Structure 1
């Protein structure tokens, strides 16, 4: 089968050709490719041409996880691409033993492997001119972090390889780290915000290959994403063992984070998982009919479910629920788990990628990045991690095109997730801006609930119960095009005070529009002080008034209004005599004759 290169692969081929024919002195290439856009062919293109030209003699490909080494070998061994590119380069997944190539043209190792035996790998770079490929380079911090000593060790070990490499190809699906630190080897310039830096994509010594999600969608390289945002309510015991709640998962941060923590460990998680399971079941039935497979017969192209859990204990709980919903004879083969504590985790991951079964995989972090499993169609995002880099990689597991599933137009990625404020902010960010910033790490605010891997500890609350309420669907916008505009070429950003006034005005307009719509729909009586009641309800929902909100809080409030109706939350005013009449009237139907 003849294959054609996509635009970012053509871009790289052009840069590599210029290096091979010595038309440029550039030796650093950054490929910023949207997660799921297909980075795995880029090292093959670069190695094949540079070896043929005598620029390099070997290729070393470093990946962040052991499970990705096999995929790197497969990229070079793919017969269709070997024919299309006319190359004969082969690499092997190497252990930390002498002669990692073993007669081949390169080797694949991991960050951990290099950190465990840095001198062994450095000796190979000194012996032969080597193309260094660093996969998911955002894992390497340029600055040490006491809270992440392992990643700092990776950077220390890989830096000498970067310095000795003949050519460097840095790959990433995101140019931001979850901890806000800069990325090793990338150039930075001052950012627009205070205490920020951004990757200098126009640095003169760097060739940048950009492939945005908008470009990938236009070329049908990735699937459109439908987000199913599920709201709910949760109750827990606080630090003083007082019963708290019920509070909505979509509520303000002071209660929203604790509600989310509780929801992922109680009934809400089961509700979300059940909906994801039903989505997958219905999808597989639809595809089975379209592909002509009889009932009970399995095959590739039917679609699979990936479940991302908050921790290993809950991953096992989720697996138990899923198996309860499956026929007893199929449960243990259809639904599997892959975590670092499972002995057969690598075998399960390989089977999930390459075989019809298992069709459901539960994991915590092993499969969130780099997993090339096009059959994943539904993702249940039952995780409390909210960093952009992590979530982009996670949803990309479902955006790969499955050529066994039929026409592109019949496919889509479905991501079901809790409808909390931070997930909505993540969604909005990837729709409007590129992720290239590094920020000084802010001190944790007093009272902020320490959830997530950045703290290594759980909050001192006791989850009691939760349940799901409303499900809202959102089709993810294509997002911004990839750009390398320097700051002096960009239009000036509005100063904070101007931006705040603009946001407050837009919020006022949004509230007024909802009041008018509800009055027109006879959901509240006209001229009954509804505008004041709605404004008061919004203040209570968000935790403070607009006049006291920061720029970030104003943006979050506007985003909430775009996806929610204040009328559905007027219960927050119950007991307040100033708005009691409006709240009571909301319960009645004002249509004539009623």
Structure 2
């Protein structure tokens, strides 16, 4: 009986296999952009090494349990039997299988067990998304202990990475970067620019949405700031956090905009087009799901790690027709959902590696006419990361005339404002611009025909200004849909804050007047006011108490 057919390899995969065979080597690092086909390359190499009897066993280490199943299924299609469910409680590998798939967490838990499995036979170890071995010193040490004596090792990553001298990932060759750190040096690299040129990935349109966020700080002051204005890091971060609050208007507005885009794509012939909503935590993910159901009229798929059926839900969404899936980090890397063509970035994660992996979920190409759209807050950290990816696109697809990266895996330092105690009050949203050629492009004044909408984001057809104009035109409808959601899911805090903000400003002004007249400190006036009108401090007081305190001050001033 004939065996499984050999996969049809892409040009970069053939070149990488030739590079591997060019000289004998024990370690080989491949950096290939998300969606390029690293799994197929690694399993094809494994099949060749098994056929040559250079190795007798294959062990794959990946980040999550869901990816274990994905790897095992892909290997089976190539005739390589890998156990995708082998646990640390089980001793030897099944004799009828070639190897198994495990996770970095399992290796860290029992490194000696995996070392025994890797040395009992000549073994090829495939370390998928190898930067995860740098998630903690214990993981890196466990990977080194488990596979140091393996016959061969292949490391895979979607993005180059940088790390510190004392946290280098095992089996990776580094070069000094001149800043006291080390950067990975790949034996074979295949970047987004190369993949875009070959039609392996989709072009990406980054649609940035600004808005005004309003919050109350620990001193009781109500502060308003635009997402896109030049501000301190603390203010920018707090405005960003407030915009992502499910009680505000920014989230439903952007979800409505993404739903508009999905509707347009489906009308244009991509009948199964879907979108991913990337949330910061499970609580936000469930809240966003409720909003998305109000916006789209159908419940989205919710994918969180606490759900034992999360892996199955990913598979159902990948093969289904649901419009949206809301997730935290479970689909941030490695998960294959080709029909996902839109992404809403609704998390405060800002590391370059996570951004590249998240965007990588929507760039896998199925046809030349498909373009991914990423909806994101118009904040500087994200715009800078998007510009790097967009700049690579422009090297391949020159923009039409208007008239017609190294990535960091180390844990980032806390950003000012990340943990400040605040009360998020409200945030609105408005389309700001698209990124093009490293610049922010706003809507063009020229009118566009209805036919132009079919070409939104297609490379080389519309100018950046026309693309921005189409998104701006749809923004009005998105705002109307978002306002309906806000009326459907009212928030007492969101409706009461404006009156409280005005009263607090009045109190501050009147206290200053009285203190100046009497020559007493502001604190003494505040203390007297609280004795006259008992209750909490003004920052936490209700509108009723604030009104009575204002009246008392007015009577004292006369």
What's the CA shift for 1:391?
0.5
Matched-pair contact (CA < 8 Å) for 1:178–1:389: no
Matched-pair contact (CA < 8 Å) for 1:319–1:337: yes
Bigger CA drift: 177-186 or 361-370?
177-186
- 1:158-237 correspondence runs (5 A): 158-176=143-161, 182-192=168-178, 194-201=179-186, 208-237=187-216
Per-residue CA shift, 1:366-411, capped at 9, x if unaligned? 1111110101011111111111100100011110123xxxxx2321
Matched-pair contact (CA < 8 Å) for 1:178–1:387: no
What's the CA shift for 1:319?
0.5
Measured at CA, do residues 269 and 340 of structure 1 come closer, stay the same or move farther in structure 2, by a change above 3 Å?
same
What's the CA shift for 1:25?
3.2
Measured at CA, do residues 302 and 431 of structure 1 come closer, stay the same or move farther in structure 2, by a change above 3 Å?
closer
1:255 aligns with 2:235: yes
* SS across alignment from 1:470: strand
Q: 1:421 aligns with which of 371, 380, 383?
A: 380
Q: Give the Cα–Cα distance (whole angstroms) in 2 for the partners of residues 431 and 417 of structure 1.
A: 14
Matched-pair contact (CA < 8 Å) for 1:34–1:213: yes
Measured at CA, do residues 397 and 410 of structure 1 come closer, stay the same or move farther in structure 2, by a change above 3 Å?
same
Measured at CA, do residues 322 and 442 of structure 1 come closer, stay the same or move farther in structure 2, by a change above 3 Å?
closer
Which residue does the alignment assign to 1:317? 287
Bigger CA drift: 63-72 or 429-438?
429-438
What's the CA shift for 1:101?
3.9
Q: Give the Cα–Cα distance (whole angstroms) in 2 for the partners of residues 153 and 248 of structure 1.
A: 38
* SS across alignment from 2:205: strand
- 1:281-292 correspondence runs (5 A): 281-287=263-269
* SS across alignment from 2:148: helix
Matched-pair contact (CA < 8 Å) for 1:59–1:132: yes
1:305 aligns with 2:270: no
Measured at CA, do residues 430 and 114 of structure 1 come closer, stay the same or move farther in structure 2, by a change above 3 Å?
same
* SS across alignment from 1:410: coil
Q: 2:259 aligns with which of 277, 280, 284?
A: 277
* SS across alignment from 2:47: helix
1:126 aligns with 2:119: yes
Q: Which structure has the larger Rg?
A: 2
Q: Give the Cα–Cα distance (whole angstroms) in 1 for the partners of residues 192 and 94 of structure 2.
A: 35
Measured at CA, do residues 429 and 411 of structure 1 come closer, stay the same or move farther in structure 2, by a change above 3 Å?
closer
Q: Give the Cα–Cα distance (whole angstroms) in 1 for the partners of residues 104 and 336 of structure 2.
A: 19
What's the CA shift for 1:179?
9.1
Which residue does the alignment assign to 1:60? 59
Q: Give the Cα–Cα distance (whole angstroms) in 1 for the partners of residues 210 and 412 of structure 2.
A: 29
Measured at CA, do residues 189 and 436 of structure 1 come closer, stay the same or move farther in structure 2, by a change above 3 Å?
farther
Matched-pair contact (CA < 8 Å) for 1:378–1:398: yes
Per-residue CA shift, 1:49-105, capped at 9, x if unaligned? 111112110000000011111111122223xxx4xxxxx322120222122344111
Matched-pair contact (CA < 8 Å) for 1:126–1:164: yes
Which residue does the alignment assign to 1:389? 353
Q: Give the Cα–Cα distance (whole angstroms) in 2 for the partners of residues 372 and 476 of structure 1.
A: 29
Which residue does the alignment assign to 2:18? 14
What's the CA shift for 1:324?
1.7
What's the CA shift for 1:437?
6.2
Q: Give the Cα–Cα distance (whole angstroms) in 1 for the partners of residues 308 and 230 of structure 2.
A: 40
Q: Give the Cα–Cα distance (whole angstroms) in 1 for the partners of residues 157 and 432 of structure 2.
A: 33
Which residue does the alignment assign to 1:401? 365
Matched-pair contact (CA < 8 Å) for 1:230–1:417: yes
Q: Aligned pair count?
A: 419
Matched-pair contact (CA < 8 Å) for 1:247–1:255: no
The normalised TM-score by structure 1 is 0.66
Which residue does the alignment assign to 2:427? 466
Q: Give the Cα–Cα distance (whole angstroms) in 1 for the partners of residues 34 and 184 of structure 2.
A: 18
Measured at CA, do residues 281 and 56 of structure 1 come closer, stay the same or move farther in structure 2, by a change above 3 Å?
same
The normalised TM-score by structure 2 is 0.70
What's the CA shift for 1:195?
2.9
Q: 1:375 aligns with which of 331, 339, 359?
A: 339
CA RMSD across the alignment: 2.6
* SS across alignment from 2:72: helix
1:449 aligns with 2:417: yes
Q: Give the Cα–Cα distance (whole angstroms) in 1 for the partners of residues 110 and 221 of structure 2.
A: 52
What's the CA shift for 1:165?
1.2
What's the CA shift for 1:444?
5.2
* SS across alignment from 1:124: helix
Per-residue CA shift, 1:502-554, capped at 9, x if unaligned? xxxxxxxx9xxx9xxxxxxxxxxxxxxxxxxxxxxxxxxxxxxxxxxxxxxxx
Which residue does the alignment assign to 2:447? none
- Show structure 2 runs of 5+ residues with no match: 393-404, 443-467, 469-558
What's the CA shift for 1:427?
2.0
1:347 aligns with 2:346: no
